[in-house]
């Protein structure tokens, strides 16, 4: 496919849909997995959410109106599915934030799929100490390298608010990492 419009048409065309969807999976599966993983933390939950995301994408391609890029639309679905998974598991609403952070760090350290070094674990710890909205915008901007406009489309939050949250998150993370160095 030479451009996104042609690719989307192939995805919507019953004769080309399966082949085009395989291309979609090959192109976006890993990026979406890591986008999801930053929210749900565990590999098993990320796999479940990724599968649900691609099922929703496949079932709803005919509804895609191309008001945003295909990439942004899929990331929005993945974001929503991640939040649904967290709510379903009771990790957003019912856990004390300190318990949630401790639980997430323990999961990350115990996860056999995580090959991070100490500094990466400390960065994740710093991120988990941020308010939820700052965590979300930081993860999408820093790890997924999304533009504020894309994050706004995914999260439904205006760009100015996102920028403010991101820069506050960066400052908090820098302070946290600096405190670790002085210990």
pLDDT tens across 8-40, in order?
A: 999 999 899 999 999 999 999 999 999 999 888
Average pLDDT over every residue of 83-106: 60
Q: What proportion of the chain, given as a percentage, has pLDDT over 90?
A: 42
Question: Given CA atoms 13, 15, 17, 19 in this order, what sign does their dihedral have?
Answer: negative
What local confidence, expressed as pLDDT, does residue 96 receive? 43
Regarding whether 161 and 115 lie in a shared domain, the answer is: yes
Contact 152, 158 (CB under 8 A): yes
Regarding whether 162 and 82 lie in a shared domain, the answer is: no
Average pLDDT over every residue of 164-179: 92
CA torsion 178→151→134→174, rounded to 10°?
A: 10
Q: Which residues of 95-112 are buried (b: 16+ CB within 10 A; e: fewer)?
A: beeeebbeebbebbeeee
Does 94 have pLDDT greater than 90?
Answer: no
Q: State phi, psi for 64 to the nearest 5 degrees.
A: -70, 115
What local confidence, expressed as pLDDT, does residue 26 receive? 94
More confidently predicted of 122 and 100: 122
Contact 114, 9 (CB under 8 A): no
What local confidence, expressed as pLDDT, does residue 59 receive? 92
Domain contains 100:
no
Average pLDDT over every residue of 156-166: 94
Residue 53 to residue 95: CA distance in whole angstroms: 25
Does 148 have pLDDT greater than 90?
Answer: yes
Does 55 have pLDDT greater than 80?
Answer: yes
Q: What is the CATH number of the domain that holds 150?
A: 1.10.10.10
Its domain, for residue 165, covers 111-183
Q: What is the CATH number of the domain that holds 68?
A: 1.10.1740.10
3-state helix, strand, coil in the chain (%, to 5): 80, 0, 20
Q: Which of 94, 120, 136 is the last residue of a domain?
A: 94
Q: Which of 94, 119, 139 is the last residue of a domain?
A: 94
What local confidence, expressed as pLDDT, does residue 93 receive? 41
Question: Given CA atoms 37, 58, 71, 153 in this order, what sign does their dihedral have?
Answer: negative
- The number of distinct structural domains making up the chain is 2
């Amino acid at each position: 496919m030479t451009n996104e419009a042609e690719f989307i048409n192939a995805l919507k065309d019953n004769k080309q849909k399966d082949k085009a969807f395989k291309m979609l999976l090959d192109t976006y599966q890993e990026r979406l997995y890591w986008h999801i993983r930053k929210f749900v933390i565990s590999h098993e939950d990320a796999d479940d959410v990724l599968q649900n995301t691609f099922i929703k994408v496949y079932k709803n391609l005919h509804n895609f109106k191309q008001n945003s890029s295909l990439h942004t639309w899929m990331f929005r679905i993945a974001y929503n599915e991640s939040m649904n998974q967290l709510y379903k598991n009771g990790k957003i609403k019912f856990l004390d934030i300190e318990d949630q952070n401790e639980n997430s760090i323990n999961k990350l350290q115990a996860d056999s799929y995580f090959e991070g070094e100490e500094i990466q674990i400390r960065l994740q710890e710093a991120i988990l100490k941020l308010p939820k909205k700052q965590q979300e915008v930081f993860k999408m901007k820093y790890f997924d390298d999304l533009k504020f406009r894309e994050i706004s489309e995914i999260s439904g939050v205006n760009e100015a608010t996102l920028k403010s949250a991101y820069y506050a998150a960066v400052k908090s993370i820098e302070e946290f990492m600096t405190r670790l160095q002085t210990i």
